[in-house]
Every structure is written in structure tokens, then in C-alpha cells.
Amino acid sequence: MMITILVTGVGGPAGYGLARQLIERGYRVVGTDMRSISVPGIAVYRVPAADDPTFVETLRALTRASRAALVIPTVSEELPILACETDWPAPIALGPHEGVLLANDKWLTWQRLSECGVAVPRAMLPSHIQNADHVAQALGWPCLAKPRVGRGGRGVTLYHAADIDALRARDDRFIVQEFVPGVEYAPNVCIRHNGRDIVVPLRKTALKQGIVGNAAQVVRDDSSDVAALACAAGRALGLSGALDIDIRRRNDGTPVVLEVNARFGANSAYAPEVLGALLEDFGLRQRRYPIVPVSLLSVVI
């Protein structure tokens, strides 16, 4: 009998990419999404948004009905809600509640990593800003602002000195950060209880918004300093399991952590070792089933 794994957000890049890998490995995948979508080879169920009062019970009932052996959430808004659930019909592949909350808020992430000596860009809240000279001294121009709670590159805006009034108009739901101009990476990480962490640095070769935003293309990279920094960030936040981390290099080559996502990212297929390690940690990796070609899978929305 095939093992069932429930993946949330299968209509998004992270969930779909993960579902493809699981089916290729021989698992039965049950998916959820907020939209009515069709994915060949996957039974997809529509669920309410994470902030809907019925979300938790809907997902709990689906986990029980599908007899899932593991639940892997990939929707950012779901993570802090599911991380505090202790009475669930199956294990949830998610880090401890405190770590997930820290990673969910980019300002809290920055504070904890700074306290732990993990390299991060200089940052402040909009309410801290005095004038353009203050920003120049504290962060440098240009700088960027992004939502403290939000997905990937959504809402990221680059500001120059002439934009000081617009920048000061932001409220403290945003974080203002030094713009780090160098090469950007998306290391995929599995933080493990046995200490044998898995990390695969992926270098972003194109960004969807040009100089900021999500990766349009990635390649595997062997930057050991990026790998070490990614693991240090995950452990400083007290996380475990799969992480998707954004890191950039300063002009002098020093890597700094931009943000940490406590879930699989959109490019996890380029780092299959991460999924392999996570399945092994849940006692699932040794299962062997016929391989289903990835080419047979596609999303129809």
C-alpha cells in the first residue's frame, strides 16, 4: 500500500514542486489549495485561507480522511498556525512554534540573528527614520523596504535618497534594510535532530523583478560560506526540518542572511537531498515504489 503525504498549497510553486518530487519517489500525494485546481495524479481539495476560523478543522479532517502519514505545509500563512497544533492525526513537517514565529516576521528574524552573531544586513523600522542623512549613515542608499510578514519578494521596494518622504510614510508593518548588491543565493536546508544537517546552496542567476524579488532561475553552487551561514541561521532561530533561506553577498564578498522561510521553497527540486533527509527523519525514506516520470505531471488551473 502506498504511503500518503498531504502537501498544502499544491497550486503554488513550492507545493507543486514538492508534490512532483514525492510522486516521482513513489508516494501518494493528497494536496490542498485555496483555489479549485486540477493536478494530474493528485487528489486536490479546496480549503479555506489560513486565517479562516474553519481552516484548522478542515485540514485536520482531511488529514484523518486521507490517512496521511505526514503533512508538509508550504503556504507561509499556514505555518504559525500549524506550528502550535499538538493534537494532529499525523506528524506535521514543521519546526517548533517559537522558531516558526521568529521566521514568520522578518524584523524578529533580524533581531534574533543579530543577537546570535549571524551576519545580516543593517536594518531598522520606518518609525526609527529621522531624515535622509540618518538613512545614509545607518543603512546607506539605496535601501529597501519589505513587509515584515509576507511571501518572498512580494511588496519589496527599492528606495533612493529622493524617495525619503515615501519611505518615511511606511508604517512598522515593514522593515527597512540595507540593500546588499552582490550575488544572491537560495540555500535549501534540512536542519536535523541528529546534527547532520543537509544544505544545498542554490545561486540565483535571474530575479523576477530584476535586482530584487524571487528567483527566476537557479543553479547549484558549492559556496561553503553560504552553506555554513544558512545552517547557522536555521539553528539560531531554533528551527528544524526544511528551510528556504535568502542570502546575498556584500561588495566585499561577505554573505548576509536576508530572510528565512520555515518551509520548502519553489526550487526544492534542485536540492532533492533536502526532501530525502526529511523523509528519512520521519521514517519514510526507505520505502521503495515504482518511479512515476515527472514529465507526466502538470498543473491545470
Grid coordinates in use for 275? 526532501
Grid coordinates in use for 80? 504559525
> 230 with 187: CB under 8 angstroms?
yes
DSSP string, 235-253: HHTT--EEEEEEEEE-TTS
* Residue percentage of the chain with pLDDT more than 90: 85
Rounded mean pLDDT, 218-245: 96
> 17 with 32: CB under 8 angstroms?
no
- 298 has pLDDT over 50: no
Separation of alpha carbons 224 and 162, rounded Å:
38
pLDDT of residue 79: 98
Query: Is 227 strand, coil or helix?
Result: helix
> 281 with 70: CB under 8 angstroms?
no
pLDDT in tens, 178-209: 999 999 999 999 999 999 999 999 999 876 65
By CB atoms closer than 10 A (0-12, 13-18, 19+), residue 151 is middle
pTM of the model as a whole: 0.90
Q: Given pLDDT bands bounded at 50, 70 and 90, which one contains residue 297?
A: very low
Rounded mean pLDDT, 65-86: 96
Lowest mean pLDDT among 44-53, 79-88, 151-160, 266-275: 151-160
> 182 with 173: CB under 8 angstroms?
no
Q: Given pLDDT bands bounded at 50, 70 and 90, which one contains residue 1?
A: confident
Separation of alpha carbons 78 and 100, rounded Å:
10
pLDDT of residue 293: 35
Lowest mean pLDDT among 9-23, 29-43, 103-117, 210-224: 210-224
Q: Given pLDDT bands bounded at 50, 70 and 90, which one contains residue 290?
A: very low
DSSP string, 110-156: HHHHHHTT-----EE-GGG---HHHHHHHT-SSEEEEESS-STTTT-
Average pLDDT, the chain: 91
pLDDT of residue 292: 33
Tell which residue, 35, 18, 8, has the closest CA to residue 266: 18
Tell which residue, 11, 21, 15, has the closest CA to residue 74: 15
Q: Given pLDDT bands bounded at 50, 70 and 90, which one contains residue 288?
A: very low
pLDDT in tens, 125-179: 999 999 999 999 999 999 999 999 987 678 899 999 999 999 999 999 999 999 9
pLDDT of residue 208: 61
- What is the arrangement of strands in the sheet containing 43-46, beginning at the earlier edge strand? 43-46, 28-33, 4-8, 70-72
pLDDT of residue 71: 98
